[in-house]
Structure 1
Amino acid sequence: MDQHVPPLLRRGRGGRLQALRHRPPAGARGTLRVHRDQAPQLRRQGDPVVDAPELAGQIAIVTGGARAIGRAIAETLAGRGATVVSVDLASSDETVGAIEAAGGSALSLTADVTDEQAVAAAFREVLDGYGRIDVLVNNAGLFAGIERRPFWEIDLAEWEHVLGVNVRSVFLCSRAVAEPMRAAGSGRIVNIASNVVTFGMANLMHYVASKAAVIGMTRSMARELGPSGIAVNGVAPGLVTTEITTQTVSDEYRDLVAKGQCLQVPILPADIAGAVAYLCSPSARMVTGQTLLVNGGATMGPA
């Protein structure tokens, strides 16, 4: 590893970090600058109409992109044209490999998104390499391994650990992109929350509290960043079928949850990724401060 690369980071597959460092930043590739909304007006009569992917040319950071929902989000955004940087404590090589195999562009950075210095170093690498950050998806979070118990049995260390991961990471990463997005006058931030906030799930108060905080932060950030042209939204999934939930949640409980949904089929990572991609797309131009429930209608209540 080069001495100038921070020790908390590492290269993606095939040494892509070096290539990233030498890629010209946005705005330096030509002298003609056109607002995205004006671009279609530049087509000459008779030119073939070829629609570019809706996120073409965008730089998107996905935290926790190594597996499950995060990987699905990373692959979906890449499939829609974005260059995706997965920032995760675990290796994102498989995510990067899948994206590159499909013809997309991606990079893996290893960093602890609850550590202030690690976040600053990772995001600086992206800015140094690409010149900007267009999209941030705050997906990293803690759910697997949390023991369900009444709140009076939760010790302070466990409480602080859950909130530290699920809330601090959103704050640190969002703060890291605020300045470059404000300077650019545009950007999208999507925070992954949970539908447990809507009904107050018993025996998981630390988790519920952490995701309630994320929803509140989403609204506050939308107000503060809106004047700079930055949209901030959330996605609140129901119980998503992943390798982790398959191992940690009983079949009986998953069946019970599905029966409580209007759409009585399993929720998949791709369902969450599709919602995130919508919120990052031009179609959601006037959507901000919202948290989209993706739970098959589970929180509508009894008919």
Structure 2
Amino acid sequence: MLLSDQWVLVTGGARGLGAAITRALVREGAGVIVNYRKSETLAHALREELGERVLPLQADITDTAAVARLFEEAQAQTGQAIVSVVNNALADFQFDGDGRPSIDSIDWPRFQQQLDGSLKGALNTMQAAAAGMRSRGFGRIVNVGTNLFQNPVVPYHDYTAAKAALLSLTRTAAHDLGPDGITVNMVSGGLLRTTDASAATPEFVFDLIANSTPLRRVTTPEEFADAVLFFLSPWARAVTGQNLIVDGGLVKG
């Protein structure tokens, strides 16, 4: 299915990386359901900026019933089942190496918060989308991950553990849903210049990472967004269960 024929749900689609993904999708002719939890003003600003191909809808993706209502409302307003999902929403988090808790002091609620946001949120959207995807014989799920499993240059224990669990779910879900024409993939970035989450990162860290990449620069949200579009496009129709690292070549495989 062409991007221009799709309505794509982007969780956390109103700000930061999510907004970059929203803009990239609209640029290619797709419609975007911009899910937000608290960023109502930003979501409606994107609607004003990008036009009627943006549909802002509020839901806390960790709430299973709220996600079910989100899909019902999206289908009612677009006239079609939602068969493309980008699980981008991030539980409240700041990439601040100096402020992160160490393994000696981190408490379980931090892990639970990240697991709820990354893993439970993605599971909720997958389950809510599955029936509509099966009815069309087509589905595209893209989960947003991180390169920190391969390169824990800053050990954000809670965030990285949750994203590692999401990679596992990506691969098991790809196996389960593949016979129904549904692909499930992950796009993993490193530090992005710049999002709300990376705003607390010191400039010298950006410079250090840039100098460690073959491209000698830090990946932008816009560059990351283009990789997400690949997995939603017809060119990726035979690709599933994969984790594509988009970080300027910093991490190999």
Report the AA paired with residue 217 of structure 1: L
Q: CA deviation at 1:300?
A: 3.1
Match of 2:4 among 34, 42, 56: 56
SS in 2 for 1:153: coil
Check if 1:223 corresponds to 2:175.
yes
Distance 2:154 2:197 in 1: 18
Shift of 1:145: 3.0
Range with bigger deviation, 281-290 or 237-246:
237-246
Query: Within 5 Å, which residues of 2 pair with 1:1-303?
Result: 54-89=2-37, 90-91=39-40, 92-100=43-51, 105-129=53-77, 130-142=79-91, 144-145=93-94, 147-245=99-197, 247-300=199-252
TM-score normalised according to structure 2 size = 0.92
Secondary structure of residue in 2 paired with 1:145: coil
CA positional deviation for 1:152: 2.7
Whether the 8 Å contact between 2:94 and 2:198 is mirrored in structure 1 is no
Distance in 2 (CA, whole Å) between partners of 1:260 and 1:268 is 16
Q: Give how far 1:246 is off.
A: 5.3
TM-superposed deviation, 1:241: 0.9
CA contact (8 A) 1:65 1:73 kept: yes
* Structure with more contact order per residue of length (Cα contacts < 8 Å, sep ≥ 6): 2
CA shift in 2, pair 1:284/1:243, >3 Å = closer
Residue 245 of structure 1: how far off its partner (Å)? 4.8
Distance 1:177 1:277, change over 3 A: same
How big is the shift at 1:222?
0.7
SS of 2:146's equivalent?
coil
Distance 1:195 1:62 in 2: 21
User: Structure 1 counterpart of 2:146, which letter?
Assistant: S
Residue 244 of structure 1 deviates from its aligned partner by 2.0
Q: Determine if contact 1:235/1:275 at 8 Å carries over to the other structure.
A: yes
Q: Larger Rg: 1 or 2? A: 1
Per the normalisation by structure 1, the TM-score is 0.77
Identity of aligned residues (%): 35
- The CA deviation string for residues 245-297 of structure 1, in whole angstroms up to 9 with x for no partner, is 55300001111111111111121111111001111111111111101100011
| Structure 2 gap segments, 5+ residues each | none
- How many pairs are equivalent? 246
CA offsets 1:160-185 (integer angstroms, 9 cap, x no match): 11221121111111111011101211
Question: Which amino acid counterpart does residue 140 of structure 1 have in structure 2?
Answer: A
> Where does the alignment leave 5 or more consecutive residues of structure 1 unmatched?
1-35, 37-53
For 1:99, the aligned partner's letter is L
Tell me, yes or no, if the aligned pair for 2:12 and 2:18 is still in contact at 8 Å. Answer: yes
> Residues 134 and 187 of structure 1 are in contact (CA less than 8 Å); yes or no, is this contact kept in structure 2?
yes
- Alpha carbons of structure 1 residues 191 and 246: separation in structure 2 relative to 1, 3 Å: closer
Separation in 1, partners of 2:198, 2:72: 36
SS at match of 2:57: strand
User: Which of structure 1's runs of 4+ aligned residues deviate more than 6 A?
Assistant: none
